[in-house]
Amino acid sequence: MKQKIIIIALSVAVVLFAGAFFLKIQKNRFLQKQVAALQIQGDQRRALWNSVQLEAGILDIFVSDILLAKKEIPLSVRVKIEEKIKATDDVELKRRWSAFAESKNQEEGQKAGEELLRYLVSNIRKKME
């Protein structure tokens, strides 16, 4: 009779241990999924921040080196802003820059410049919300 009680007690202990082990594995999997989700969110935030910084850099060059220029804009400034615009992979930004850069007269250039400026500010504002 004592052996049966010992066997039953050991069986119960094994079942409880197995259950606890299973719950621990489930908790571990759950936590791993949470960590992965947080890493993805962090990566997305970093990508968004990098995008905002890139567009802010374009905005800075556009305003300080182009709109406020007192003399002819050096080729190096144009190359610098075009490299940054290309790095954004933003088709609409490229289109608006082309409209500005290829404007045929001052009125057309001013209108295209205003549209480009509004687009950049709007994009940055949306990303910061």
Q: Is residue 2 part of a domain?
A: no
Q: Is residue 17 part of a domain?
A: no
- Report the 3 state secondary structure along the chain: CHHHHHHHHHHHHHHHHHHHHHHHHHHHHHHHHHHHHHHHHHHHHHHHHHHHHHHHHHHHHHHHHHHCCCCCCCHHHHHHHHHHHHHHCCHHHHHHHHHHHCCCCHHHHHHHHHHHHHHHHHHHHHHHC
- Residue 57 confidence (pLDDT): 93
Domain with 119, as residue range(s), is 39-128
Q: Is residue 120 part of a domain?
A: yes
pLDDT tens by residue, 55-65 = 999 999 999 99
Q: Is residue 3 part of a domain?
A: no
Segments of the chain with pLDDT less than 50: none
